[in-house]
Amino acid sequence: MGDTADSAKANEAQALWTHDEQGPLLRLSGDWRGKSRLPARPDTTASATATLPLRIDGRALEAFDSSLAAALWALSRSARAPLDTRELPPALSGMLDLAARQSAGDAPGGRRRPRWLTRVGLAWQARYRRTRDTLAFTGDLLIAVYRAMRGSTAMRGEDLAQQLHATGPATLPIVTLISFLVGLIIAYMGAAQLQRLGAQAFMADLVTIGVVREIAALMTGIMLAGRVGAAFAAQLGSMQANEEIDALRALGLNPVEHLVLPRVLAMALMAPLLTTFAAVVGMLAGLLVAVGIFHVELLDYLYRSSKAITLAHAGIGLLKGTVYGVLVAMAGCRQGLHAGRSAQAVGEATTAAVVQAIIWIVIAASALTIAFQRLGW
């Protein structure tokens, strides 16, 4: 019995700090499997020894695992001193050396890799992955549209009707409010400048051309991005998190045709109608400002508005509204289909859908405006 107790005591994990002519030394012995409590480094008054490497003597170790390596690494980080692993078993010193190289930003082969270069590389890798996913999504959508034009799509009519209601009538209140307020702002700011020249009658031209050609489509696109695009991303992201999209693929069904195509087609059909409605509301708001505040004759305002609306202005406005709506639907569906499988990932996809849609709208607006100006339209 006494020999067994002495043997068990000899195998216990022991750690003792000693001091010799070279400074503090931590001696380890016994069985350190599953144990990670080490005594702190003793204080020293000599500044030279305070900056010396931590000397570890592990020649008396009988057994150990990664817990001891983690404890030694934590001791080194807390003391802000490197580890001297020459008297440790090769397996333990190898783990500590690997941790030191990774912390210093070294590559596995020993070549130093700057941390900023690593961050830049990871950022570009993530950007490349997102661009690749977007291009693949766009290709799948074009194939689905082509199949729909041939009449061989698997899209259901009920899904399209549901999305037409979600993107159209359900969006009218917010589009009406924003268009009315923006029309008021444009009319009032324009009239304040025209009044200096006594040209209040030209308010009709300013408001009509600005709203019909640019503002109605832009405001409608932004409102759709915040309301419909976010809803698309949240819906598809939730389906992705619940593995419903995986279930569609397992059944041999194309998620793009069943989920994305109805939403994109509904947005393409409803966006020009919403743009037209927003333009009418904006022009009515300008009429109220011109007639009610700046005392422009009603018939004169209506006559100038009718003269200002040309087929080119109306066509450009409707084209821009349609393009913006399609981009919003694509951004929302793309982020939703590629969302993660958690509640946080769904929220991030929803936010990314709105941001991406607005960026795409601004880029498209700039490109279309420059193109039409170059063409003289």
Q: Which helix (H) or strand (E) holds 64?
A: strand 54-64
Return the C-alpha torsion angle 102, 104, 109, 113, nearest 10. Answer: 110
Strand 83-87 to 54-64 pairing: parallel
Q: Which residue has the tokens 């204080």?
A: 43
Q: 343-375 vs 230-241: helix axis angle to the nearest 10?
A: 140
The two structure tokens encoding residue 351: 């936010």
Q: Residue 114 — left, alpha, or beta (φ > 0 → left; ψ -120 to 50 → alpha)?
A: beta
pLDDT (0 to 100) of residue 58: 79
Q: What are all long-range contacts of 303-310, with beta carbons under 8 Å and residues at least 24 apart?
A: 303/204, 304/201, 304/202, 304/204, 304/205, 304/208, 305/204, 305/205, 305/207, 305/208, 307/205, 308/204, 308/205, 308/208, 308/209, 309/208, 309/212
pLDDT (0 to 100) of residue 327: 94
The two structure tokens encoding residue 314: 């109306």
- pLDDT averages per 10-residue partition of the chain, 377 residues: 50 78 79 77 53 77 81 79 80 78 55 68 82 88 88 83 88 90 86 74 82 90 91 91 87 87 92 93 88 83 85 90 94 89 87 92 92 85
Domain locations in the chain? 2-103, 131-375
Contact 12, 63 (CB under 8 A): no
Distance CA 331, CA 194 (A): 40
Q: Find the radius of gyration of the CA atoms of the chain.
A: 35
- pTM of the prediction? 0.66
- Alpha carbons within 13 angstroms on the beta-carbon side of residue 313 total 19
- Burial classification of residue 129, based on how many CB atoms lie within 10 Å of its CB (0-12 exposed, 13-18 middle, 19 or more buried): exposed
pLDDT (0 to 100) of residue 20: 73
Dump the DSSP string for 114-156: -HHHHHHHHHHHHHHHHHHHHHHHHHHHHHHHHHHHHT-----
Domain 2-103 coded CATH 3.30.750: yes
pLDDT (0 to 100) of residue 44: 52
Distance CA 296, CA 302 (A): 10
What three-state secondary structure class fits 373?
A: helix
What value, to the nearest 5°, has the Cα angle with vertex 320 and ends 318 and 323?
110
Residue 155 Cα distances to 45, 105, 144, 205, 263, angstroms: 79, 51, 9, 44, 11
The separation between CA 72 and the C-alpha centre of its own chain, rounded to angstroms, equals: 39
What value, to the nearest 5°, has the Cα angle with vertex 151 and ends 150 and 155?
125
Q: Which helix (H) or strand (E) holds 58?
A: strand 54-64
Contact 285, 181 (CB under 8 A): yes
pLDDT (0 to 100) of residue 268: 93
Q: What backbone phi and psi angles, to 5 degrees, belong to 83?
A: -100, 140
Question: CB within 8 A of 184, min separation 6: which ones?
Answer: 285, 286, 288, 289
pLDDT (0 to 100) of residue 82: 77
Closest CA to 322 of 189, 221, 199, 179: 221
Q: Which residue has the tokens 């941790």?
A: 99
pLDDT (0 to 100) of residue 279: 92
Closest CA to 335 of 325, 324, 345: 345
Q: Give the helix ranges, DSSP H, for 195-310.
A: 203-210, 216-224, 230-241, 244-250, 255, 261-292, 298-308
